């Protein structure tokens, strides 16, 4: 495996970050480009990338911050090109705005990508219209929970206006892109860690509709949430990124974190990035900066101890909420990952509106919020 990573500014000028010896742009199979939505719309970089990498699948995705091998958040578009030695790729695109059901995407993935030698699927989805829980549940169902998915929901800085994704074209709203990786030579390591601390009692969800939460126990959800926030309640919805929700669908489930996207003062409800099913159990959470950074380091350490070799590349998807809470210390979670993997591992990725990762067994497709999610690759 060989890689090249560079920064692309609004004038489409490039600045090399990293390049493997003997890397050949003409032979690269996969190019991933992450940038601010307004920059991607203004620069329209696809034609430039296609000219540079004529044989590659080119994917563009808007973000809430870009991750480069310099482990800093860049204002420019971060482009990472990958040349595999033995691995084959296959891709598809789905327009959620033109489709009447997310089930059609699941069926499309099953029919077009699932073969005996499929190792994993990269999924990059628009993050404004899609219900991330329904998306991941349908993909797990259609693949019988046997194929690992990794990726995330596109971001839009801190605007939450619209997100854009593109496959072999400039990015547009409503697009979902999936890429299958095939061949025995490619090895994956996956991990997802949050670092948030629960506080307060566990309570039952007594009224919800998909990702909209109305009542917890005998209280209006928003009123109860404000009681816990105290002085931070006046800063809603922005302050919600500091206080996500921990949810278990049933007593035996692993807890997942859910980010609050919006509040409705009239309905006294809260809208989340993923579903909050009726009868599920929830607890409020709060962040400690050191624990968030430690969790990112632990995710990298988990992969490092499981893989027989150091990964050649590591695809990082972190949450916009983590970027807000970590603020000027956001670089530290990336620096600890870099230290754990070593200088030979190329880092890339983005800050998202939702992270997608396999379960604890490295299979299936789960939606996370407020986590650092890592997919590390090594081509044996």
Query: Domain map of the chain by residue range?
Result: 2-193+290-379, 197-285
Rounded distance, CA 148 to CA 122, Å?
A: 9
**What is the pLDDT confidence band of residue 232, given thresholds at 50, 70 and 90?**
confident
**What is the pLDDT confidence band of residue 241, given thresholds at 50, 70 and 90?**
confident
Rounded distance, CA 37 to CA 40, Å?
A: 5
- Helices 132-142, 103-112: axis angle to 10 degrees equals 40
**What is the pLDDT confidence band of residue 99, given thresholds at 50, 70 and 90?**
confident
Average pLDDT across the chain, whole number:
93
Could you tell me the strand order of the sheet in which 372-379 lies?
A: 73-74, 66-67, 346-352, 313-319, 372-379, 186-193
Report the pLDDT value the prediction gives residue 240, as an integer from 0 to 100.
Answer: 81
Residue 100 has pLDDT above 80, yes or no: no
**pLDDT tens digit sequence for 321-353:** 899 899 999 999 999 999 999 999 999 999 999
Which of 215-219, 304-308, 374-378 shows the lowest mean pLDDT across its residues? 304-308
Report the pLDDT value the prediction gives residue 331, as an integer from 0 to 100.
Answer: 94
User: What average pLDDT does this structure show over 297-311?
Assistant: 93
**pLDDT tens digit sequence for 168-216:** 999 999 999 999 999 988 999 999 999 998 888 999 999 999 999 999 9
**pLDDT tens digit sequence for 124-141:** 999 988 889 999 999 999
Which of 32-41, 50-59, 71-80 shows the lowest mean pLDDT across its residues? 71-80
Which of 118-132, 238-252, 366-380 shows the lowest mean pLDDT across its residues? 238-252
**pTM score, whole prediction:** 0.92
User: What average pLDDT does this structure show over 7-17?
Assistant: 95
**What is the pLDDT confidence band of residue 73, given thresholds at 50, 70 and 90?**
confident
Q: How many CB atoms lie within 10 A of CB 270?
A: 27
Number of residues in the chain: 380
Residue 154 has pLDDT above 80, yes or no: yes
Report the pLDDT value the prediction gives residue 4, as an integer from 0 to 100.
Answer: 98
Residue 226 has pLDDT above 80, yes or no: yes
Report the pLDDT value the prediction gives residue 358, as an integer from 0 to 100.
Answer: 95
The single residue listed with the structure tokens 């010896």 is 21
Residue 238 has pLDDT above 80, yes or no: no
**What is the pLDDT confidence band of residue 281, given thresholds at 50, 70 and 90?**
very high
Q: Which residue has the higher pLDDT, 251 or 156?
A: 156
CA-based nearest residue to 343, from 12, 4, 18: 18
Q: Cβ contacts of residue 295 below 8 Å, gap of 6+? A: 193, 194, 195, 371, 372
């Amino acid at each position: 495996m060989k890689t090249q990573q560079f920064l692309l500014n609004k004038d489409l000028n490039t600045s090399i970050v990293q390049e493997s010896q003997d890397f050949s742009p003409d032979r690269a199979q996969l190019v991933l480009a992450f940038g601010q939505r307004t920059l991607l719309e203004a620069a329209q970089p696809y034609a430039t990338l296609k000219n540079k990498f004529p044989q590659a699948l080119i994917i563009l995705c808007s973000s809430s911050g870009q991750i480069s091998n310099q482990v800093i958040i860049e204002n420019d578009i971060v482009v990472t090109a990958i040349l595999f030695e033995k691995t084959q790729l296959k891709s598809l695109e789905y327009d959620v705005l033109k489709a009447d059901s997310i089930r059609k995407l699941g069926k499309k993935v099953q029919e077009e990508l699932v073969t005996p030698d499929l190792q994993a699927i990269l999924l990059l989805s628009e993050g404004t219209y899609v219900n991330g829980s329904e998306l991941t549940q349908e993909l797990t169902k259609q693949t019988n929970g046997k194929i690992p998915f990794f990726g995330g929901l596109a971001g839009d800085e801190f605007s939450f206006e619209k997100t854009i994704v593109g496959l072999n074209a400039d990015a547009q709203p409503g697009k979902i892109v999936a890429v299958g990786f095939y061949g025995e030579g490619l090895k994956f390591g996956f991990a997802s860690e949050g670092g948030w601390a629960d506080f307060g009692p566990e309570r039952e969800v007594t009224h919800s509709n998909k990702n909209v939460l109305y009542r917890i126990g005998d209280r209006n959800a928003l009123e109860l949430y404000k009681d816990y926030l105290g002085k931070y309640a006046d800063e809603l919805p922005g302050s919600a990124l500091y206080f996500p929700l921990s949810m278990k669908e049933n007593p035996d489930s692993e807890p997942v974190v859910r980010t609050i996207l919006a509040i409705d003062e009239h309905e006294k409800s809260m809208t989340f990035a993923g579903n909050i099913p009726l009868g599920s159990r929830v607890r409020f959470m709060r962040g400690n900066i050191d624990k968030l950074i430690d969790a990112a380091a632990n995710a990298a350490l988990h992969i490092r101890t499981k893989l027989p070799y150091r990964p050649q590349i590591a695809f990082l998807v972190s949450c916009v909420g983590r970027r807000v809470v970590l603020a000027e210390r956001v670089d530290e979670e990336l620096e600890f990952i870099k230290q754990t993997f070593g200088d030979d591992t190329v880092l890339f990725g983005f800050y998202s509106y939702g992270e997608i990762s396999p379960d604890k067994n490295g299979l299936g497709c789960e939606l996370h919020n407020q986590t650092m999610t890592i997919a590390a690759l090594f081509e044996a």
